[in-house]
Amino acid sequence: MPQVKDEAQPENIEDDWITNFFDKCRLISDGEMQTIWSKVLAGEANSPGTYSKPTVNLLGSLDRADAFLFQILCGFGWFFGNVVPIIYEVEDEIYTKHGINFNALKHLDEIGLLSFESFTGFSKVHLPKKIRFTYYGKPIDIEFENEKDNRISIGHVLLSKTGQELAPICGSKPIPAFFDYVIERWTLKDGLAISSPLGVRAQ
| Burial annotation 56-82 (CB, 10 A radius, 16+ → b, else e) | bebbbebeeebbbbbbbbbbbbbbbee
Amino acid at 39: K
Residue 4 confidence (pLDDT): 84
Span of 11-15, 87-91, 122-126, 195-199 with lowest mean pLDDT: 195-199
CA–CA separation, 49 and 109 (whole Å): 24
Mean pLDDT of 123-133: 96
Residue 201 confidence (pLDDT): 45
Please give the helix or strand (H or E) that residue 21 lies within, else none: helix 15-25
* Secondary structure class of 164 (helix, strand, coil): helix
Question: Which phi and psi angles does 24 have, rounded to 5°?
Answer: -80, -30
